[in-house]
């Protein structure tokens, strides 16, 4: 297995990985799984600032991790929201850990100062992964999502990345840190 930058050509495979989380669980609050075209739009919407990674095993995508803006207001631009999804066959095999650890390293190198993972609860596996990678519980929104016939809480797990200077430096675009060549295994 190798980790590499995800691109538009990976969109259909990433949509396939994500679809069961949407259709069969409360892990995602989306109610209709995005197709390949929508996933491609999401990958491209990063605008050279928000990385997408894929775990590739001989041309088969096993999982992906990505970052996005945490909130749209300018003062939040130093913080990112992060996520990781794996095929059922890749769970508990270290795929998610490797993807997430690499994503966090990239974000730190870019100069982002905080990563936030929003976890629909209960989800012991995701909580465990986040805490293993240095995230701490920052708070919980109670009963904010209704899916599969019941209300769900969303917990926020937060992890420091690069040191927060005062005043802060703007996060660097991916190209400025040698992405993706500097991050290949």
pLDDT exceeds 80 at position 92? no
3-state secondary structure of 154: strand
- pTM score: 0.95
* Residues 6-26: b if buried by 16+ CB within 10 A, e if exposed: beeebbebbbebbbebbeeeb
What does the pLDDT read at residue 181? 85
pLDDT tens, position by position, 23-54: 999 999 999 999 999 999 999 998 899 999 99
Residue 14 contacts residue 54 (beta carbons within 8 Å): yes
3-state secondary structure of 99: helix
Per CATH, domain 2-183 is 1.20.1250.20? no
CA distance 91 to 97: 10
Helix axes of 95-110 and 124-132: crossing angle, nearest 10 degrees: 50
Residue 109 contacts residue 80 (beta carbons within 8 Å): no
Domain borders along the chain are 2-183
């Amino acid at each position: 297995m190798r980790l590499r930058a995800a691109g538009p050509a990976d969109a259909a495979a990433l949509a396939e990985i994500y679809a069961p989380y949407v259709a069969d669980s409360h892990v995602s609050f989306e109610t209709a799984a995005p197709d390949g075209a929508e996933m491609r739009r999401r990958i491209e919407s990063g605008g050279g600032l928000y990385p997408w990674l894929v775990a590739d095993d001989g041309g088969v995508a096993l999982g992906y991790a990505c970052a996005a803006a945490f909130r749209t207001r300018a003062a939040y631009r130093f913080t990112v929201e992060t996520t990781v999804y794996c095929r059922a066959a890749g769970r508990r095999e270290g795929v998610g850990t490797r993807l997430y650890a690499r994503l966090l390293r990239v974000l730190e190198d870019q100069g982002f100062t905080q990563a936030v993972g929003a976890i629909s609860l209960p989800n012991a596996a995701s909580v465990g992964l986040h805490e293993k990678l240095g995230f701490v519980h920052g708070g919980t929104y109670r009963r904010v999502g209704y899916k599969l016939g019941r209300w769900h809480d969303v917990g926020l797990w937060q992890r420091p990345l690069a040191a927060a200077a005062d005043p802060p430096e703007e996060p660097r675009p991916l190209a400025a840190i040698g992405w993706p060549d500097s991050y290949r295994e």
